[in-house]
Structure 1
Amino acid sequence: MTSSPVQTHQFDSRDPVAIHTFLSTTYDPKLRIHSRNGYRLTHHRVDTGPFAIATTRQTGQLDIGASTLGGLVIGRTRTARVDRACDGSADRFGPGDVFLVTRPEEPCSVRWHPGEVELCVLDLSVLAQVATTTPARRPGRIRFTHLGPADAVLARQWRDTTSFISDVVLNNPRASAQPLVIGNAARMLAAAALTVFPNTAFTEPTAVDRRHASTATLRRAITFVEEHADRDISAVDIAGAAGVSLRAVQLAFRRHLGITPMAYLRRIRLARAHHDLVRADPGQETVSAIASRWGFASHSRFTARYHASYGVPPRETLHA
């Protein structure tokens, strides 16, 4: 996955024409909207390329008709009430609720009442990096079978995930400037979406996958990981380099190392960060800068992981 520079967009207007132009340009060229007199829309959006997180605040009622939103759009009401109709069903959401606005490329109508809503827009290609579908044994279209979370606990997981991404990644200019950090964040959101909302993603390995989960596969995968640890690679990339399916490479790592391919990648990146800390000039480098360079967005998590592996905090290594 390649990440474009993170861009922040701020929009605030009472002009119906300007609001329609902004929303249709941002979300759907064929968007239909209707607002009442006195309506005001405030929209703050951080766009990373593979995903965007936006906060929308409105003082009136907005009716929206969308024909195709393209990516996967996940809503989280903060203070607003939202009425949504699509696929023959109608639902109402209140503060704290999490929901899919619609299935990708499926029309819907939404009525947003006064208040604040958070939207996460996820590029569909990211979903293919963390899951495969039946019956094909390669990344393909994943269909979401329900537009609401499987249960309240999973809804809270989505809220926690987006809060972490917003607070630790997007609000940290040093971290958000690193492609490895953005790639990791995108896949974290994709994995959470596939966990929270019922879908057709296939997770069990086949007999062919089990046969391919060999030491030879593991060696090819490890070689690729160690040669490309400085790039934004996914488990799908690792499987492709090893010449097997995603499930086969996952099973190979579990069977022979007891970890996932991405956990092994994090282990290699931690070792590279350690290498940089040992050789860095403390007057020119910081722990946070080195951690971000290797894809670790959270300073506290990096410090804890580093201390567990090397017995000292990273700052001590840098200043040794």
Structure 2
Amino acid sequence: MVDGLPRLMSAPGTVYFDSVDAVRARDVLNRFYHPVSLDASDGEKTRVEVELIQLGPLTVGHFTFAGCATLVAPEMDAYHVTLPTAGEIRSRHAGQEVTVTPATALVFRPGDPIHLRHEANSAELEVRIERGALEAELAALLGHPIDGPIDLPTSFDLGDGPAHSWSRLIRLLHEELEHESSLIYQPLIAEQLCSSVLSGLLLSVPHRYHDELTLPVTAGPPRAIRRAVEAINDEPERNFTVGELAVIAGMSVRSLQEGFRRHVGNAPMTYLQQVRLSRARDALRRGDPARITVATVAHRWGFAHLGRFASAYRQRFGESPSATLKATP
């Protein structure tokens, strides 16, 4: 790392910062999280290493504090989860003071104040989820409107179970930051990862909708599933999300997924990819090699990464896209 010099990654919406001073760290927090004050007891000697990725309504950052520092925010405007990864963090939260280690996550809801005291050489993952996005995710999963804010617990154990699994997903996002060829920089994958983080949190911690969310799901009826299938076939190049398809079908995301499994035999996004691959194959078989390229066809049908398109194409059809194009009479 180059000390003190921020670096902007090439992928849209993704930012990576090297080691910065306390003033710069506060600026980063203000920009990507919420307005805070940062009191560094070691003054100018305090360094904060910041690694951060922003995927639409989701921000995941890893902060390492060389010296002691205190973060204070009068009121949150989003859902926020702090997952310590090293050392101790003291929190003044919900009328009580608690000390947390990497075994426990802290949760702050919209309207909550934040007061976090970081000991020297402590580190944490900071997850910010826009209020509207998390509440819309829950409503889509349930298939009906909800009353927010969601009553997430003020803390939860990361030792085992779904919460431990969710924390591993957050760590994966952080670990992938340094790899510029990572799938997280592909818009389609990033969107799915974002949705997985949101739905994973809702499934991992208790709240008033949790029991309903984990009840066995009923598959959507064939006629409704057909509406989603027709939408995909009409516009396979469109960047559909599972939530959008659920709205089209008029059901919850879970009912859509179960309906696709039962009536189509594939998950919605798998079916979308299959349709795209078939349309791409048709275009390559009809195309003139002197006038079109594999890349042009791949991009036309919604594949942003040529290498992964070629791999999926070969797996599906047993030959490369370029071989199909060259075989054109």
Normalization by structure 1: what TM-score? 0.73
Q: CA 1:106 to 1:227, structure 2 compared with 1: closer, same or farther past 3 Å?
A: farther
Q: Which residue of 2 aligns with 1:171?
A: 179
Matches within 5 A, 1:7-18: 7-10=14-17, 12-14=19-21, 16-18=22-24
Q: Mind listing any 5+ residue stretches in structure 1 that lack a counterpart? A: none
Identity %: 19
Q: Tell me by how many angstroms 1:222 deviates.
A: 0.8
Deviation string 1:185-241 (CA, Å, 9 cap, x unpaired) is 2112212222333233442679xx96x932211111111233344333322211222
Residue identity matched to 1:252:
G
Contact 2:33 2:128 in 1 (8 A): no
Aligned to 1:221: 228
**Which residue of 1 is the match for residue 206 of structure 2?**
198
Does the alignment pair 1:182 with 2:187? no
Q: Which has the larger radius of gyration?
A: 2
Give the one of 34, 42, 45 matched to 2:39.
Answer: 34
Query: What displacement does 1:149 show?
Result: 4.1
**For the residues of structure 2 that align with 1:126 and 1:298, how far apart are their CA atoms?**
32
Unmatched runs of 5 consecutive residues or more in structure 2: 1-10
Cα gap change, 1:105 to 1:261, in 2 (>3 Å): farther
Could you say which residue in structure 2 is the equivalent of 1:230?
A: 237
**Equivalent residues of 1:28, 1:67 under 8 A apart:** no
| TM-aligned CA deviation for residue 314 of structure 1 | 8.4
For the pair 1:111 / 2:121, whether they are aligned, the reply is no
Q: Is the 8 A contact 1:103 1:147 kept in 2?
A: no
Given that 2:176 and 2:182 are in contact with CA atoms closer than 8 Å, whether structure 1 keeps it comes out as no
CA contact (8 A) 2:87 2:123 kept: yes
| The 10-residue stretch of structure 1 (165-174 or 213-222) with the greater mean CA deviation from structure 2 | 165-174
Go from structure 1 to structure 2 and tell me whether the alpha carbon gap of 1:170 and 1:40 turns closer, same or farther (over 3 Å shift): closer
CA distance in 2 between partners of 1:181 and 1:134 (Å): 19
Query: Displacement, 1:49?
Result: 2.6
User: Residues of 2 paired with 1:87 and 1:155: CA distance?
Assistant: 21
Label 1:295 to 1:135 Cα distance change in 2 as closer, same or farther (>3 A). Answer: same
Contact 1:175/1:297 (<8 A) preserved: no
**Letter matched to residue 117 of structure 2:** R
1:39-58 residue pairs with structure 2 within 5 A?
39-58=46-65
Cα RMSD for the two superposed structures? 4.4
Post-superposition Cα deviations, 1:130-156, rounded to whole Å, max 9, x if no partner, equal 433899813663331352147523344
- Tell me how far 1:20 sits from its aligned partner: 3.6
Q: Which residue of structure 2 aligns with residue 157 of structure 1?
A: 165
Written as runs of structure 1 = structure 2, the 5 A alignment for 1:1-320 is 5-10=12-17, 12-14=19-21, 16-29=22-35, 31-37=36-42, 38-95=45-102, 97=103, 99-113=105-119, 114-128=121-135, 130-132=137-139, 137-138=144-145, 141=148, 142-149=150-157, 151-168=159-176, 171-173=179-181, 175-199=183-207, 200-201=209-210, 202-203=212-213, 213-257=220-264, 259-269=266-276, 271=278, 294=303, 309-310=316-317
Contact 1:132 1:246 in 2 (8 A): no
Q: Which moved more, 1:97-106 or 1:265-274?
A: 265-274
Matched residue SS, 1:213: coil
Instruction: Determine the C-alpha separation between the residues in 1 that align with 2:96 and 2:283.
Output: 55
Mapped to 2, the partners of 1:89 and 1:277 lie a distance apart of 64
Using a 3 Å threshold, how does the CA distance of structure 1 residues 19 and 215 change in structure 2: closer, same or farther? closer
Moved more, 221-230 or 143-152: 143-152
User: For residues 154-194 of structure 1, what are the alpha-carbon distances to aligned partners after superposition, in whole Å with 9 as ceiling and x for unaligned?
Assistant: 34422431343345577335745542222112112212222
Give the Cα separation in 1 of the matches to 2:146 and 2:268: 17
